[in-house]
Amino acid sequence: MSGPGAPSVPVLEVFSSFQGEGPRVGERQVFVRLARCDLRCAFCDTPESYPTPDTARVQVAPDDEGDEHPANPMPVADLVAAVARLDRPRGLHRAASITGGEPLLHPKAVAALGPALRALGLRVHLETGGHRPGALAQVLDAIDEATPDLKLESACGVPTPWEAHRESYRMLEAARKALAVKAVVAATTPVAEVARAAAFAAAHVPSAPLVLQPLTGKEGAPPPPSAAWLLHLHTAARAEHPDVRVIPQAHKLMGVR
Q: Whole-angstrom Cα distance, residue 78 to residue 10?
A: 12
Does 102 sit near ligand SF4 (CB under 6 A)? yes
Q: Is the peptide bond before 101 cis (omega within 30 degrees of 0)?
A: yes
Whether residue 178 contacts residue 206, with contact meaning beta carbons closer than 8 Å, is answered with: no
Q: Which of residues 112-131 bind ligand SF4 (CB under 6 A)?
A: 129
- Which residue from 73, 101, 148, 225 is in contact with ligand SF4, where contact means CB under 6 A? 101
DSSP helix/strand/coil, 205: coil
Q: Give the one residue of 7, 20, 100, 133 binding ligand SF4; rule: CB under 6 A.
A: 100
Q: Angle between the 107-119 and 76-86 helix axes, to the nearest 10 degrees?
A: 40
Q: How far is the CB of 34 from ligand SF4 (least distance, A)?
A: 10
Q: Contact region for ligand SF4 (CB under 6 A) — 56-64, 94-102, 114-122, 228-236?
A: 94-102
Position 44 contacts ligand SF4 (CB under 6 A)? yes
DSSP label of 74:
E
Instruction: Check if the beta carbon of residue 35 is closer than 8 Å to that of residue 53.
Output: yes
Total residues found in the chain within this entry: 257
Is residue 39 near ligand SF4 by the rule CB under 6 A?
yes
146 touching ligand SF4, by CB under 6 A: no
Q: Which residues bind ligand SF4 (CB under 6 A)?
A: 37, 39-41, 44, 46, 49, 100-102, 129
